[in-house]
Chain A
Amino acid sequence: MAGNGGERFDWSDTWKRWRELQAEAMRMWMEAWGSTLSGGFPGWRAASGEAGKKAGEAEALFREWMDHTRELMSRFAVPFTGVGPETFLRAFRSLEVYSGLYSLWMQMYEDYRRSVGKEGEFDLEAVHALLDRWAERYRELVEKVFAPALPEPLQWVAELYSGEIPLLLGGLTAHFLAPWAEFARSMAGRGMSLERPSPETALQVYEEWRKAYEESYGRLLRMPAMGYYRETMEKYTRTMDSLNEFGIALAEFYAALQAAGARGFEKLKERLASLGEEGGEEPMSFRDLYRLWWQTNEDLYVELFRTKEFSRLLGQLVDKGMEFRAAFRAYVEEVSKELPFPNRSEMDNLYRTLDRLKREVRSLRKELDGLRKEAAGRGGEG
């Protein structure tokens, strides 16, 4: 082993320093990630400040360790073929990639925490600015770290993904998440009481859920499918979409029923109170109370059923149910078309053919009867 220059190299100190750095780096690394991951949400957010600080320290220490080690290894002169300072440099380049990624991730997380973590709000513009910053960092990372690590003929691949693509992808994701973040924020702000849920509130919740769905999953499920499983996927996504639509209609329908039920309860209380006020009434039996309960409710439900709004809800429920049923059948037929039995559509075609044939036979029979009668009449005349 020989030194790099004339200055004498203190091998024992260097080795000791290297070992200490390694131990410290590992300890801090584990500590940082341990505290980050063990918290779980929402403690994660609260703990992340300290954890991020520690992780940053760990990263700095790691870089120091890496620089030191690279310097150390560059002094080695390994006496067999193909292994030398360049070998270590290449190895350390890959470590640098890892470190770069880690650095990017931590920075992204910190940015996200700052942009989104304020009181549960989700600001789409702030997220877009965040994405711009991320994309820029990612581009730098790819240009400076990933691309040089790849063989030269493949470096274009890394560059391809260093520009607009991650930004677009991030933007799409943000758009996808934004309605749900808005929905969550709205729900948090609503402060719904579980003790006595109001049907009107429930309706608003369903409406907001529908809005979030329409702007996110709904769009995703309605997106045209492509590729070998295009037809199957398209039918599947249509089924899921229509099921969700049916669920929304069902919820709206039940909310109306629930509202009538709540009114029924109030009405029952009023009637009971009025009975008490009138005085002189015979004490009620449970049977009397039961009768009063169901008749009060029946009246109110029938009153609801007579409204145009209920008819609209019922019509909508049936409509969405039919759409789901049609979509589900189409999907089932698609995935079962190789099975050795006919599906509903094929049977319907047969039924249609049979129906036409029956009509034709009936018509021909009628015509034949007429001809027979005519012939019999001519025979009689003759």
Chain B
Amino acid sequence: MFREFLDPKFFLQELEEVNRKVVKGAEILLSIPDVDVEPTPKELVFEEDKVRLYHYLSEEKPRCPVPILICYALVNRQYMMDLQSDRSLIRNLLGEGLDIYIIDWGYPDHGDRYVTLEDYIDVYLNDCVDLVRLRSGHERINLLGVCQGGTFSVIYSALYPEKIRNLITMVTPVDFHVTDGLLNVWSQHMDVDKMVDTMGIIPGEFMNVGFLMLRPFQLLVDKYVGLMDNLDDPATVANFVRMEKWIFDSPAQAGEAYRKFLKDLYQQNKLVKGELEIGGRRVDLARITMPILNIYATEDHLVPPLSSIPLNDLVGSEDKTLYGFPGGHIGIYVSSRSQKELAPMVSKWVMDRCREAGREGSGGGRPRKKSSAAGKVSRAAEASPARGGGRGSERGARGGTGKKAGS
């Protein structure tokens, strides 16, 4: 039955091949001092507490003047979107002529245990949005949320629709009670209060155990066995190590924000029920009327498609697009297919709306006088008058209840 037993020559050949790869792989691993990530140049434009806002630098003038602010998840690091030069959604979007800002949430420590979900959405995200509005001169900007950052972006867009021109969500959980996702199932039995009260902040290692358990054999065994096959290829090994760095470069979660996110969303599913409150204000998804592009990954084991898809039925937008990317939660950023398809699709979607915004006027607008921005943003906004525009430039309704592209 086993070829090796039937043909000892085959067994010896395979053994020799494995040995050769191990020796060669050891040489390669020893020759890699470390791996670089985030190759695309960017500048720091704002910081508040541990949050930093970066603006990606591009030699070309953006073809769409309305910038995109990327709001990544609190879990893991935002450089997944710019892992390496040939696997970079950021670089691809820049290449398509978009102007990109990205939020780096930093690494919360015990001093951040009292940072709340309201702080993340009403303060940090809002201040970043205001700064991008100020720098670009546009009253409304494009917001692109990724994973948990997508949920933040959805909540934010419902609370501050006047500041967002287009909303793009990628692999974003909205319905937390679908049973396809193990995280949704497991979280139902967690005593979140006890976890937060005990640990203060939730360590990244703790989160990683949960993620690894989603696919234990694939992530703890086969992944490394697979590496054996490519140990003699320096580029593949370096790519592997980069991904490994990203996977285990896991910030802790600020305790109070984690508490509310887990209890209100994962356990009680308040967002889709219309019961979620942020800072005493109810989050009504029907208030999201701007164009929305909802991208999910068809093979996503972290955020199952059924958790993302319902968003399009809950928002008040008439211009809404659903796009199923054939791949997994991570593959959507790093797969070769992603490099070819995703950025062009996103940029086309944005450009289409950018051109229409251009026809409507400058596309800019004066930031509202009554801004909740604090600190540097608020003072800077006062000192720098913005261009005209405003709600009058709101894009007209598009027909249809949503369309599905890709798969």
Interface residues of A (CB under 8 A from B): 272, 275-276, 282-287, 289-290, 294-295, 297-298, 301-302, 305-306, 308, 311-312, 314-316, 318-319, 322-323, 325-326, 329, 344, 347-348, 351-352, 354-355, 358, 362, 365-366, 369, 372-373
Contacts and interface: CB of A to CB of B under 8 A. Distances in A.
Given A289-B2, A311-B188, A319 B194 contact: yes
Contacts of A287: 14
A351 B111 contact: yes
A289 to B, nearest CB: 7
16 contacts: A285-B14, A286-B14, A287-B14, A294-B221, A297-B217, A305-B186, A319-B191, A322-B195, A322-B198, A323-B194, A325-B199, A351-B113, A362-B123, A366-B372, A369-B382, A372-B382
Contact of A306 (B7, B185, B200): B185
A362 B375 contact: yes
B6 interface: yes
Contacts of A366: 372, 374, 378
B406 interface: no
A351 B110 contact: yes
Interface class of chain B by DSSP: helix
Given A314-B186, A322-B194, A366-B378, A298 B215 contact: yes
B190 A348 contact: no
B194 A354 contact: no
Interface class of chain A by DSSP: helix
A315 B187 CA distance: 8
Given A282-B3, A348-B200, A366-B378, 8 more contacts: A305-B185, A306-B179, A312-B189, A314-B189, A315-B189, A319-B194, A323-B194, A351-B111
Contacts of B198: 322-323, 325-326, 329
A330 to B, nearest CB: 10
Given A306-B179, A306-B182, A369-B378, A298 B111 contact: no
Contacts of A373: 369, 382
A290 B110 contact: no
Nearest to A299: B217
Nearest to B111: A351
A316 B191 CA distance: 9
Contacts of B215: 298, 302
B226 to A, nearest CB: 10
Interface string B187-207: 011110011011110000000
A369 B372 contact: no
B85 interface: no
Given A319-B191, A326-B198, A284 B110 contact: no
Chain B CB within 10 Å, residue with most, of A283, A290, A352: A283
Number of contact residues on B: which range applies?
35 or more
Nearest to B200: A348
Contact of A355 (B114, B189, B221, B369): B114
A298 B217 contact: yes
Interface string B368-396: 01001011001100100000000000000
B216 interface: yes
Contacts of A311: 185-186, 188-189
A264 to B, nearest CB: 9
Contacts of B401: none
A323 B194 CA distance: 8
A302 B186 CA distance: 12
B218 interface: yes
A298 B216 contact: yes
Contact of A362 (B179, B185, B222, B374): B374
B235 interface: no
Interface of B: 1-4, 6-7, 10, 14, 49, 110-111, 113-115, 123, 179, 182, 185-186, 188-191, 194-195, 197-200, 213-218, 221-222, 225, 369, 372, 374-375, 378-379, 382
A155 to B, nearest CB: 56
Contact of B1 (A276, A298, A319, A344): A276
A316 B194 CA distance: 12
A297 to B, nearest CB: 5
A125 B66 CA distance: 85
Contacts of A285: 2-4, 10, 14
A284 B3 contact: yes
Nearest to A376: B382
B55 to A, nearest CB: 24
B191 A322 contact: yes
Contacts of B375: 362, 365
B189 to A, nearest CB: 3
A283 B1 contact: yes
A305 B188 CA distance: 13
Contacts of A329: 198
A318 B191 contact: yes
A43 to B, nearest CB: 48
Contacts of B218: 294, 298
A354 B114 CA distance: 10
Given A285-B14, A351-B110, A365-B378, A290 B225 contact: yes
A283 B3 contact: yes
A301 B186 contact: no
A328 to B, nearest CB: 10
B197 to A, nearest CB: 8
B1 A284 contact: yes
B308 to A, nearest CB: 20
Contacts of B214: 305
Contacts of A319: 191, 194
Contacts of A305: 182, 185-186, 213-214
Given A285-B2, A322-B195, A301 B217 contact: yes
Nearest first, the 8 closest Cβ-Cβ pairs linking A and B are: A315-B189, A355-B114, A283-B3, A298-B217, A294-B217, A322-B198, A311-B189, A326-B198
A139 to B, nearest CB: 51
B374 to A, nearest CB: 5
